[in-house]
Amino acid sequence: MASALYDFLVKQTSIGLRVWVVIGICVIALIVLILTLLPVWIVFRRKTRRKFDKFPVSQIPNVSKEITVDKVGGQSLAQSFHEREGTVTNSHKYSEKDSEKTLAHLAMGKSSEVDTLSQCSSVYHNDRGGSSHSGDEGSSGPSRKAYSSYGLVSASPLVGLPEFSHLGWGHWFTLRDLEYATNRFSKENVLGEGGYGVVYRGRLINGTEVAVKKLLNNLGQAEKEFRVEVEAIGHVRHKNLVRLLGYCIEGIHRLLVYEYVNNGNLEQWLHGAMRQRGVLSWDNRIKIILGTAKALAYLHEAIEPKVVHRDIKSSNILIDDEFNAKISDFGLAKLLGSGKSHVTTRVMGTFGYVAPEYANTGLLNEKSDVYSFGVLLLESVTGRDPVDYGRPANEVNLVEWLKLMVASRRAEEVVDPSLEEKPATRALKRALLISLRCVDPDSEKRPKMGQVVRMLEADEVPYREDRRTRRGQIGSMDIESLRENSGSVDLDNKVGASDSEGRTSQRFQA
Ligand SMILES: Nc1ncnc2c1ncn2[C@@H]1O[C@H](COP(=O)(O)OP(=O)(O)OP(=O)(O)O)[C@@H](O)[C@H]1O
């Protein structure tokens, strides 16, 4: 048998070569052919996958936060606003170029790495946390200028999750992971539904509680929301900003995974379901407001480009079990590069919170957030909705009503009647003064959020000192007495001196 095989192999073929030589040549040729065709096949597969990702979608109706408003309570707002998105003044061409960068960064179809990676991803904040990004030149997200004074926290790793360090700041989830976490996006796990998606409560495989936002199945809008959120907060860490833990891109699906914040939101505490748990105390209101102010100061003054949230309102202020505020919902955020005074954009936001100049002109900068913050503060002090059509005509608009009350020396009457323990006179005056400054119709006159933080922090001491004598001691107040009685606050001069980095150097003194 063996000798027969040997005889066959050494046999001379008609082309003059022995059989074993011919077989050897054929095997080598086959190997070369396979090596040549393999890359072609890989390229073909990539193209097929990209096509899949571009499937038309949008069975779900477009929900827009675009505002169409009228004149309410004397506040003149534009009647309707149309698409001007992306027209950036001062040559701040952020959106297109940087978004592409982010797309590549997120492996969403522009990068050659896309297809070598899993289609689904999860952001993982590793030990280096945001600080690893401050030097991330390739990133389109904001980087940090300052740390400690803005209440930054370092992110801890999510133990037990698959790690994917390709982006330097994330793991990658699959849709399956998130289906598992949310019990297949069951109704019982729905936390709420916003303009752009449904938010589910979930638990990751390692036990971490999360909130999963499933963006509406409208690829254009979902894609935009998705990018904006990731660009705005993917790189930043602050104890008063909700932490973005991950995301998933799979086919037409876009999901964002956040830390779960377990104690409702400010809107629910002031006007909704959480009231069943008791009245939110003055102390906790101020704590929430201060946390919100710190996060905004960070977004406006500590990172580059600065982030304008654009939708500051009570339902976007999440609350944890220690009554710390966490700003959420960055889907409308805009980035503002250094030296850029504003961007021009479609007017978005929530009625009652939108700054008049932004509503009227579409010109946006961080002072629009300051206005919304002022409304939020008034809402917290009074327990009233920013716009409430159930009230008499002159009370429908909260800001206008507050001005009327102060002008007629009835400021003490504006405090939320449901508060069991009323604030001290001085604390109430401070809060009203700050809010009035924030809602100044002239955006230039509004304080920076860093100044607001200092004013609020300065308020803590006198507020605590007076606490013992607070009940029923709020006297008659008007704007002048608010000014006179507000300690050493010189609203026009002293507060607001800025250092070279634009941060206030003058402390607000009690
Ligand atoms: N990280 C989170 N932890 C806990 N609950 C959350 C979290 N993120 C959002 N929620 C809750 O999910 C619900 C929907 O939130 P979402 O931000 O999508 O919409 P919204 O703020 O209610 O409305 P809009 O889209 O008009 O801003 C809200 O009740 C919100 O409090």
Q: Is the pLDDT of residue 194 over 90?
A: no
Rounded to two decimals, the pTM is 0.67
Measured between alpha carbons, how far is 304 from 98 in angstroms, rounded to an integer? 14
Q: What is the pLDDT of residue 488?
A: 35
Q: What is the pLDDT of residue 161?
A: 53
Q: Which tokens is 216 given?
A: 């509406």
The mean per-residue pLDDT over the stretch 148-176 comes to 52
Q: What is the pLDDT of residue 262?
A: 95
The mean per-residue pLDDT over the stretch 148-165 comes to 42
Give residue ranges with CB within 6 A of ligand 1: 191-192, 194-195, 197, 199, 211, 213, 242, 258-261, 265, 311, 315-316, 318, 328-329
Name the residue with the closest Cα to ligand 1, atom 24: 194
Question: Please, what is the average pLDDT of the chain?
Answer: 71
The mean per-residue pLDDT over the stretch 205-211 comes to 94
Q: What is the pLDDT of residue 361?
A: 87
Q: Which tokens is 294 given?
A: 């710190």
311 labelled catalytic:
yes
| Cβ-proximal residues to 458 (8 Å cutoff; 6+ apart), any chain | 430, 487, 507, 508, 509, 510
Measured between alpha carbons, how far is 73 from 395 in angstroms, rounded to an integer? 7
pLDDT per residue over 433-481, tens digit each? 999 999 999 999 999 999 999 999 985 544 444 444 444 333 344 455 5
Q: What is the pLDDT of residue 108?
A: 36
Q: Which tokens is 380 given?
A: 């917290």
Q: How many CB atoms lie within 10 A of CB 85?
A: 15
Q: What is the pLDDT of residue 155?
A: 39
Q: Which residue has the higher pLDDT, 195 or 197?
A: 197
Measured between alpha carbons, how far is 320 from 352 in angstroms, rounded to an integer? 25
Q: Which of 246, 245, 211, 238 is nearest to 154 (CA)?
A: 238
The mean per-residue pLDDT over the stretch 315-329 comes to 96
What's the alpha-carbon Rg for the chain, to the nearest Å? Answer: 29
Q: What is the pLDDT of residue 169?
A: 52
Q: Which residue has the higher pLDDT, 273 or 42?
A: 273
The separation between the first and the last C-alpha atoms of the chain, rounded to the nearest angstrom, is 106
| Cβ-proximal residues to 405 (8 Å cutoff; 6+ apart), any chain | 411, 413, 414
The answer to whether residues 328 and 392 touch, using CB atoms and an 8 Å cutoff, is no
Name the residue with the closest Cα to ligand 1, atom 28: 192
Q: Is the pLDDT of residue 391 over 80?
A: yes
Residue 227's pLDDT band (boundaries 50, 70, 90)? confident
Q: Which residue has the higher pLDDT, 204 or 98?
A: 204
Q: Which of 98, 177, 311, 329 is catalytic?
A: 311
Rounded to 5 degrees, what are φ and ψ at 257? -120, 120
| Cβ-proximal residues to 395 (8 Å cutoff; 6+ apart), any chain | 73, 388, 401
Distance 301 CA to ligand 1 centre (A): 25
Rounded to 5 degrees, what are φ and ψ at 466? -85, -5
Q: Which of 316, 264, 323 is nearest to 290 (CA)?
A: 323
Q: Which residue has the higher pLDDT, 274 or 97?
A: 274
Q: What is the pLDDT of residue 365?
A: 87
| Cβ-proximal residues to 295 (8 Å cutoff; 6+ apart), any chain | 151, 238, 240, 241, 325, 326, 327
Looking from the CA of 259 toward its CB, the CA atoms found within 13 Å total: 25
The mean per-residue pLDDT over the stretch 376-385 comes to 98
pLDDT per residue over 331-371, tens digit each? 777 777 777 767 777 667 788 999 999 888 888 889 999 99
Q: Is the pLDDT of residue 58 over 90?
A: no
Name the residue with the closest Cα to ligand 1, atom 5: 261
Residue 105's pLDDT band (boundaries 50, 70, 90)? very low
Distance 244 CA to ligand 1 centre (A): 13
Distance 126 CA to ligand 1 centre (A): 25
Interface pTM (ipTM) of the complex? 0.97
DSSP states of 104-120: HHTTSSSSTTGGGS-S-
Residue 482's pLDDT band (boundaries 50, 70, 90)? low
The mean per-residue pLDDT over the stretch 402-413 comes to 94
The mean per-residue pLDDT over the stretch 305-322 comes to 94
